[in-house]
Structure 1
Amino acid sequence: MERFHTYFRQEFDQMYELADGSFEKHGMSLPMFLNLEGHHGIEEAYIFPKLAQRMVEFKQDEKHRESHKGIHDGIDKLGELVLRWRTEPSAYSPTELRGCLDSFRDVLFRHLDEEVNDLKASNMRKYWTLDEMDQFMI
């Protein structure tokens, strides 16, 4: 999980840095960033329900699910901007992109840190045996 989260942080920071439009020079596009939504969808559909059986922080109304709501709000707004800029490229605004990214940076980065901490082996041992962990579909 930490590897995925490190990648998302790097991708987020790179998108912010290249918001001046230079991302295209690096072979990137704005829709590439929306991969984060797929990661969260998998967590919510498959991983969180299993973890929530024994770990309160993964239950429906707890911190990880609540963080996802804030992150999804930002990703949804970003998706709307990307669609607008695809149909009207001249409307692209680095300031607007950075403002959108700023709107969910804190909740995203805090969530990434909290989730990695909660999924450390030392914490998981409190709730699951190694045999049970081997049964997780990841």
Structure 2
Amino acid sequence: MPPPPPPAANKDEQPKPAGAGAGSDLPPLSAKEFRVYNRMAEHMDQFHTHFRLTYNTLLSACATPPKPKLAPRALITQALEFCHHLTMHHTIEERHIFPVLARRMPEFRRELSLLSQHKEIHRGMAALERYLEACRSGETDLDRREVGRLLEGFGGVLFEHLDEEVHALRAENMRVYWSEREMAGLPM
């Protein structure tokens, strides 16, 4: 039997959809409906969990003393791969997922926070990538404190973004904008 939907923060209060006043009048979702409507949130959260873990591993490798102790080349490679994978993830979202969702959901429109967060994250990642490329080429010696500082420069908005995006895709919000049948046709 599938797990029931997660409980609301306050047992007397049902969760409210992000960005929509409507929806609080809707009947509770059945377990089957919850699975259908929550599919995108669960799928996205799997990617986001990987990004959180990788970010935290990199940040820990920059602490004094580093934990885990990554060799300089391994730290550079893993951090560049993190930037590359996050860029690919955001590119797919911006080209294939957000435009479809934005037709009905204000959270995914270009002028609002989820996309502006992408820009802020990528400004920070660009600075990190420049530094790491200089280290990889031998132009600069790797300073773990500098890598940590650059990571921390965009970490706050990254974690906020990862949480807000999944929150916007949760079942209680998706059903405000999409029918159960339409959910099957949404990209992801």
TM-score over 0.5 (shorter chain):
yes
Q: Which shifted more, 29-38 or 55-64?
A: 29-38
Q: TM-score if structure 1 supplies the norm length?
A: 0.91
Paired residues of 2:134 and 2:140 also in contact (CA < 8 A): no
**Structure 2 length-normalised TM:** 0.68
Q: Larger radius of gyration, structure 1 or 2?
A: 2
Q: Where does structure 1 differ by over 6 angstroms across 4 or more consecutive aligned residues?
A: none
Which of the residues 85, 102, 110 maps onto 2:152? 102
Q: CA RMSD of the aligned region, Å?
A: 1.8
Distance 1:24 1:39 in 2: 27
Equivalent in the alignment of 2:7: none
Measured against aligned partners, the alpha-carbon deviations of 1:8-50 in whole angstroms (never above 9, x if no partner) come to: 111100001112493239x662322121111111111111111
- Secondary structure (helix, strand or coil) at the match of 1:68 reads helix
Larger helix proportion, structure 1 or 2? 1
Q: Which residue matches 1:24? A: 71
Percent of pairs with identical residues: 36
Could you tell me how far apart the structure 2 residues matched to 1:76 and 1:131 are?
Answer: 40
Larger RCO (CA within 8 A; separation ≥ 6): 2
- 1:14 aligns with 57
Tell me the matched-pair count.
137
Map of 1:73 onto structure 2: 123
Name structure 2 gaps, 5 residues minimum.
1-43
Structure 1: segments with no counterpart, 5+ residues: none
